[in-house]
Amino acid sequence: MLEIRHRVAFAALVCACVLVACDDAPPEPQGSAPVVTKADPPPKLAKIPKEMVAAVSAGKSSDVISVHFALRAPPTVNQALPVDVVIVPHREFSSLIVHFDGQEGLATTSGDSFGPRTDIESETPISHQLVLLPTKEGMFMVTSVVDTDSSEGNITRVFSIPVIVSAAASAAPADAPAAVPPAATN
């Protein structure tokens, strides 16, 4: 019963994090006459593989830097799980350091830190690989702490990578031994 309450509380926490990450865009201004302006060249955008998804930001920092990830195998108990990570800075930074930390039940076996890397250019994707080892079934979060240094100072941003781990596939049950018929009685 207690485990169910923990799962429900954890699911509610994940939903709250997702809702906090939502952004309400300001309404479009409606003018009566269109204004003609000189078109600026489109901003340079980072190329991110289409199978990657964005990690959940703890605040509204995804317009400054974003973290994307792709799980390279189904998350299964006691099987290594490679995770491709791409960090995309949307501004220039003088340095960047990233630390990854799993919860109890989801250990980081390699790639738990990245950097420091200096002279980070805007919209230039930075690739990294993380290897996780799930030790039990359930829903877990890998916390990604991104530490940037720029003219604004040293700022730490937090992102979450959700991972749902399934139980290890068990071997097929062996055939039951043939039943011995009862001895006939006279």
Domains contained in the chain, CATH given? 50-169 (2.60.40.10)
Structure tokens given for 7: 């799962």
User: Which residues, at least 6 apart from 7, have a Cβ–Cβ distance to it below 8 Å?
Assistant: 138, 139
Residues of the chain with pLDDT under 70: 1-46, 169-186
Percentage of residues in the chain having pLDDT higher than 90? 56
pLDDT for position 170: 60
pTM above 0.85, yes or no: no
**What does the buried/exposed string (b/e) look like for 57-87 if buried means 16 or more CB atoms within 10 Å of the residue's CB?**
bbeebbebbbbbbebeeebebeeebebbbbb
Ordered alpha helix ranges (H), the chain: 2-21
pLDDT for position 172: 47
Percentage of residues in the chain having pLDDT higher than 70? 65
Other CB atoms within 10 A of residue 99 CB:
15
pLDDT for position 77: 94
pLDDT for position 48: 81
Amino acid at 99: H
pLDDT for position 161: 96
pLDDT for position 10: 54
Structure tokens given for 103: 């919860």
- Could you give the 3-state DSSP secondary structure of residue 46? coil
